[in-house]
Amino acid sequence: MFRSIIRLENQFKSVISLCKACPRHQHSRCALKYSTASTERKRFYEDVSISQGEGGLYEINLDRRKLKTPGGKLFMVPNEALAIAVATEWDAQRDTLKFFTMHLTTLCNTALDNPTQRDKDQMINAALKFLETDTICYRVEEPPGLVELQRNEWDPVLRWIENRYDVAIGSSSSILGPDIPEETKETFRQHLSSYNLWSLTGLEFVITQLKSVVLSLGMIDRHLSVEQAVLLSRLEEEYQIRRWGNVEWAHDYDMYELRARTAAGALFVQLSSESSTVKQKLMQD
């Protein structure tokens, strides 16, 4: 158990270090847009702690002040592991609070305030929309080098998810993309229905970053690492960079940013599961 806690703490630090290495900020749909009014603010607290409140939920305390959401709600998370992760984000801030690096806090705010006022079915529909335009389902017809790269790198992941969920997806070089069978959509709909609202918030965030349901589920199911999923989502861009070169600092920042957001989203999905599930995963790890 002690090793599991150390590993979990290292996960928090890895996400935070990725965020710190990435000074630029790009808003990405609702989850990133829904943050605090300013991107930076002077640190106004000394100590960060967590406490258990009503209904067994956990709260974040900045000195003696209880953290609240942008919508004015008391900031409460479903389990201790997620509370520790959020508290770590706040504790890692220095003289200036860089809210754009605090992805777990932002995802919690989104789950608590639900600024778009969507229910679970609407969230699932939004996630499944990406299946119709999934990154790894769209293939080029030229140049030959990129055609071969997509086939070698994307096909194994596509075969894995088709076998894993017993579905047919396929790929296409047509601008319309592959024709996804209704049975496939229904299978994924049932699978996403097994997630709670908090986990769906994180999963949709990851799907938005990678523009891919396939890569996102591959990472959440631990078939792919964060680095692998990000690289596969940028396969065409990386091919062009290797061929034509790149603006070095811009490429590095974009890569760090995408890795940080994707890692935070995946961690949020894991930590926002039911408490018993989280504890079980920690024991298994």
* 273 phi and psi angles, rounded to 5 deg: -70, 175
Please say if the pLDDT value at position 1 is more than 70.
Answer: no
Number of H helices, E strands in the chain: 13, 6
The pTM for the full model equals 0.81
Name the maximum alpha-carbon separation found in the chain: 62
Q: What is the pLDDT of residues 17-63, one digit of tens each?
A: 554 444 444 333 343 444 444 467 899 999 999 999 888 999 999 99
CA gap 123, 16 in Å, rounded:
27
Q: What is the pLDDT of residues 178-236, one digit of tens each?
A: 899 999 999 999 999 999 999 999 999 999 999 999 999 999 999 999 999 999 999 99
Question: Stretch 96-121: mean pLDDT, rounded?
Answer: 95
Contact 234, 258 (CB under 8 A): yes
Average pLDDT along the chain? 85
The domain limits of the chain are 48-113, 120-273
Question: Stretch 135-143: mean pLDDT, rounded?
Answer: 92
Going from the C-alpha of 166 to that of each of 18, 161, 187, 218, the distances in angstroms are 35, 8, 9, 14
Please say if the pLDDT value at position 279 is more than 70.
Answer: no
Per-state percent for the chain, helix, strand, coil, to nearest 5: 65, 10, 30
Q: What is the CATH number of domain 48-113?
A: 3.30.2180.10
Q: 190, exposed or middle or buried, with CB in 10 Å at 0-12, 13-18, 19+?
A: exposed
Please say if the pLDDT value at position 285 is more than 70.
Answer: no
**What's CA 145's distance to the chain center, in Å?**
30
**List of E strands, the chain:** 40-42, 48-52, 58-62, 65-66, 76-77, 96-98
Contact 102, 48 (CB under 8 A): no
pLDDT at 14: 52
Fold assignment, 120-273: ATP12-like fold (1.10.3580)
Contact 90, 48 (CB under 8 A): yes
Nearest one of 91, 83, 139, 88 to 112, comparing CA atoms:
83
Is the bond preceding residue 143 a cis peptide, omega within 30 degrees?
yes
Nearest one of 223, 225, 229 to 135, comparing CA atoms:
229
Structure tokens at 105: 């806090």
Q: What is the pLDDT of residues 152-184, one digit of tens each?
A: 999 999 999 999 999 999 999 888 778 999 999
